[in-house]
Homo-oligomer: A and B are copies of this chain.
Amino acid sequence: MKLTKLFSKTSRQYPKDEVSVSSQLLERAGYIDKVSAGVYTLLPLGLKTANKIANIIRDQMDKIGGQECLLPGLIPKNLLEQSSRWETFDALFKLKGVDGKEYALGATHEEIVSPLVKKYILSYKDLPFSLYQIQDKFRNEVRAKSGVLRTREFLMKDLYSFHADAKDLDRYYELVKEAYWKIFARCGIKDKTHYTFASGGDFTKYSHEFQSETEAGEDEIYVCKKCSTAVNRDILDKTFECPECKGKEYEIKKAIEVGNIFKLGTRFSTPFNLSYVDEKGRDLPVIIGCYGIGIQRLLGTIVEVHHDQKGLKWPKGVAPFAAHLIALDGAGAKADRIYEKLLAEGVEVLYDDREASAGEKFADADLAGLPWRLLVSEKTGEKIELKARGSEKTELVELGGLKGKIA
């Protein structure tokens, strides 16, 4: 993509109404645009990054047998009444059609997925099974002031798993946990993320959150000094004991929940009569687990963890482009050739082909935060100056060896 063609432009201004560093930087760098509090547009750069994240998640969900579907955003009132959540779920946006029919906008999809699965699951032979989607969610938040970290509308990956018994759910829950760690590793935030015990509802004592340390986080977590597992405030007893290693010492950290996994048990299979016939012909309730990751929140959290005062610093796996190519001092024709060559090799390049000063181009490259900066000028001759974002070290490389270095 040539920068002269790219829709968004960088801005020197700090957006006045953004509190979180991630949203300030994403707005300044032209990744997102704020429509109103908690409502954002993903601009071309932002969508490309969100798609990288979504595909990392998809890959892991597919590996644990999840099948992707797309459930509707409109959830009919009767389904939310059946689960007794129409009145009790605070965050629902509610609306009425011209025919008088009422809906809530999907904030989570147990009420859609449970009756759906009931149509297809008949016997123990159909279990276990899991369905997921990456879909637009809506939350009627009282306040939405943390930028993309807490929004009224966002893409979410929600996975639902269905099991014959609690033991099989336990087995799958561990698989999801491992998949989540791989996702957070590929997104570059694993080291800052704590597996966090939270309250679990009726079916199990605990649910679990993945909480990433950041000053912009709205949560406080209690992190075991010995094993780095955490508990959230809801379940902190007067005296701390780590549920994982029984350690007694902890630190308090500000954090943001980037994922959660929850054993729902029969919470939704009971109201929706979701049962299966076992080997002995008995009718038994299906045991359900649910597992969420918010895409924009994860995007924002990656930025919270990976940035400096100059701008974004994308981990390789999620960067919208691998490299930022800059042409200086009338080296445009040479840069054009390199750009075409890299495109033909399948390297994703953002090419700053503007007529602008070196200082402006360098500043914008730092702000955009791609992993590699490629500089072509009269000084670099037939070679290209390569620099990693966040490093001051530069290196002159041949075009032939470039792909191997940056891909």
Q: Measuring CB to CB, which residues of chain A are less than 8 angstroms from any residue of chain B?
A: 5-9, 33, 35-37, 39-44, 46-47, 50, 65, 67-76, 90, 93-95, 97-99, 101, 105, 112, 116, 119-120, 129, 131, 135-136, 138, 140-143, 152-153
Check if A153 sits within 8 Å of B33, measured CB to CB: no
Residues of B within 8 A of A46 (CB): 69-70
Residues of B within 8 A of A40 (CB): 72
A134-B3 Cα distance, complex, nearest whole Å: 23
Copies of this chain held together in the complex: 2
Check if B97 sits within 8 Å of A69, measured CB to CB: no
Shortest A24–chain B CB gap in Å is 16
15 A-B pairs besides A5-B65, A39-B76, A98-B140 with CB distance below 8 A are A7-B67, A9-B120, A33-B119, A35-B74, A42-B70, A44-B67, A46-B69, A50-B70, A73-B73, A93-B95, A95-B95, A97-B140, A99-B143, A105-B105, A135-B136
Picked from B65, B74, B138, the residue with its CB within 8 Å of the CB of A152 is B74
* Residue on B nearest A113 in the bound complex, by CB: B41
Check if B72 sits within 8 Å of A39, measured CB to CB: yes
Check if B69 sits within 8 Å of A47, measured CB to CB: yes
Residues of B within 8 A of A71 (CB): 41
Check if B41 sits within 8 Å of A70, measured CB to CB: yes
Picked from B5, B69, B90, B95, the residue with its CB within 8 Å of the CB of A94 is B95
Check if A7 sits within 8 Å of B41, measured CB to CB: no
* Residue on B nearest A125 in the bound complex, by CB: B4
- Residue among A35, A40, A65, A152 with max Cβ neighbours from chain B (10 Å): A35
A72-B93 Cα distance, complex, nearest whole Å: 15
A90-B99 Cα distance, complex, nearest whole Å: 13
* Residue on B nearest A35 in the bound complex, by CB: B72
Residues of B within 8 A of A6 (CB): 67
A39-B140 Cα distance, complex, nearest whole Å: 21
- Residue among A40, A46, A99, A129 with max Cβ neighbours from chain B (10 Å): A99
Residues of B within 8 A of A70 (CB): 41-42, 46-47, 50
- Residue among A5, A7, A47, A131 with max Cβ neighbours from chain B (10 Å): A7
Residues of B within 8 A of A36 (CB): 74, 76, 101
A69-B43 Cα distance, complex, nearest whole Å: 5
The 7 closest A-B pairs by CB, nearest first: A42-B70, A95-B95, A44-B67, A36-B76, A39-B72, A39-B74, A47-B70
